[in-house]
């Protein structure tokens, strides 16, 4: 008489437990797998340097920062949700890679904005990365703008580049309000216990994005990077406008280093054009770095103070889509160094002497998923 009711109750209990588990599973993070595979066959060479050194040319297979990643989120009630991302390096040319070697984070997102911690590009870097149609490849503007590129660094590993992915970073991004948004980040000064100074990073950006128009301002401070008691800083302003078949962008940047021997400053300019042409697009980028100025005697990154220390970089190429996710591309990029300048490609650099003019021609393929 009691077996059937007991079985019924057991079945109801099991069904309730299953429903509870299903509800919990539904509340878990939604996970998205994504990636970018970007590899090119290049022929690169550098002309004779000021000291007579001839660097010659070489064929090479280059990796243009291919990535594999996972990201997800979990609703926490109302507009609040937990967010996370793990992005890893891939090098198809060499078979190398590093888990979480690129933008990786955990944080919260809601009506008040986004707050996260991890290993991430600074707001200064992100502010204008989209202005360069060759970012991040051998031909990227980081050769002249930002004074090089640091794919992953802390406050002591790379003390020259303002184009950087920072370890141990805390980032806040505001929500967009009438097209206005902002971001602030702190590269936590963990190295204080290991070096005889207190290095830290503070990065800020503000943007206005409304339809075809985008305007950005960015500022970054490197505390005690070159020497104790002195700070480096950088500021830049950019504007981009999208016409029906043409996109143009302009950037002005000023870098200021404060070394043990004095000050070192430099102005930089960048312009890009993306023009739809046939099924694909023609892409042009032009960067100009002025002479270094100031009384500092050190070379910081790619530049130093004095006459004939400026350079230009011109890149011209074509991007041909095979589908929405796959494209073939070709580009030619050349850096023209003045007599005492030592600028080199920021990614896949050649290693140049003063006055040499590195250049490369590339045929590549890119796929995103």
pLDDT tens profile 302-346: 999 999 999 999 999 999 999 999 999 999 999 999 999 999 999
User: What confidence score (pLDDT) does residue 25 get?
Assistant: 42
Q: Residue 79 corresponds to which tokens in the numbers above?
A: 């507009």
When pLDDT is cut at 50, 70 and 90, the band that residue 23 belongs to is very low
Pick the more confident residue, 345 or 19.
345
Average pLDDT over residues 349-359: 91
User: Is the predicted pLDDT of residue 232 greater than 70, yes or no?
Assistant: yes
Query: What domains are defined for the chain?
Result: 29-368 (2.40.160.10)
pLDDT at 173: 98
Residue 1 has pLDDT above 70, yes or no: no
If you average pLDDT over every residue of the chain, what do you get?
A: 92
Looking at residues 4-23, what average pLDDT do you find? 42
Q: Is a pLDDT exceeding 70 seen at residue 163?
A: yes
Q: Return d(Cα 139, Cα 357) in angstroms, integer.
A: 13
pLDDT of 325: 97
Task: Give the model's pLDDT for residue 351.
Answer: 87
Whether the per-residue pLDDT at 11 is higher than 70: the answer is no
* pLDDT bucket at 28, cuts 50 / 70 / 90: low
Q: Report yes or no on whether pTM surpasses 0.85.
A: yes
């Amino acid at each position: 008489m009691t077996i059937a009711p007991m079985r019924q109750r057991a079945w109801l209990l099991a069904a309730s437990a299953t429903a509870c588990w299903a509800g919990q599973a539904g509340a878990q993070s939604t996970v998205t797998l994504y990636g970018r595979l970007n590899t090119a066959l290049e022929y690169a060479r550098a002309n004779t340097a000021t000291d007579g050194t001839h660097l010659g040319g070489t064929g090479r297979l280059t990796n243009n920062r291919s990535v594999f990643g996972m990201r997800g989120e979990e609703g926490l009630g109302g507009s609040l949700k937990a967010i996370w991302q793990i992005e890893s390096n891939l090098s198809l040319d060499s078979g190398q890679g590093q888990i979480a070697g690129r933008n990786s984070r955990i944080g919260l997102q809601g009506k008040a904005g986004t707050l996260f911690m991890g290993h991430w590009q600074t707001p200064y870097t992100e502010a204008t990365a989209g202005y360069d149609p060759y970012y991040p490849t051998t031909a990227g503007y980081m050769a002249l703008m930002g004074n090089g590129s640091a794919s992953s660094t802390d406050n002591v590993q790379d003390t020259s580049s303002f184009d950087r992915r920072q370890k141990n970073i805390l980032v806040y991004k505001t929500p967009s309000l009438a097209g206005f948004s902002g971001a602030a980040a702190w590269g936590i000064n963990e190295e204080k216990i290991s070096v005889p100074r207190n290095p830290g990073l503070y990065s800020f950006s503000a943007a206005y994005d409304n339809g075809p128009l985008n305007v950005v301002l960015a500022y970054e401070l490197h505390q005690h990077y070159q020497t104790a008691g002195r700070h480096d800083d950088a500021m830049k302003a950019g504007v981009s406008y999208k016409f029906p078949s043409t996109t143009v962008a302009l950037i002005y940047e000023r870098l200021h280093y404060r070394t043990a021997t004095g000050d070192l400053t430099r102005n930089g300019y960048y312009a890009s054009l993306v023009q739809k042409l046939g099924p694909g697009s023609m892409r042009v980028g032009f960067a100009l770095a002025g002479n270094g100025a100031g009384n500092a005697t050190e070379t910081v990154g790619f530049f130093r103070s004095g006459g004939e220390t400026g350079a230009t970089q011109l890149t011209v190429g074509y991007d041909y889509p095979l589908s929405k996710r796959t494209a073939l591309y070709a580009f030619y990029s050349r850096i023209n160094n003045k007599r005492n300048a030592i600028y080199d490609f920021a990614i896949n650099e050649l290693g140049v002497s003063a006055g040499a003019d590195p250049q490369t021609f590339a045929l590549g393929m890119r796929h995103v998923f």
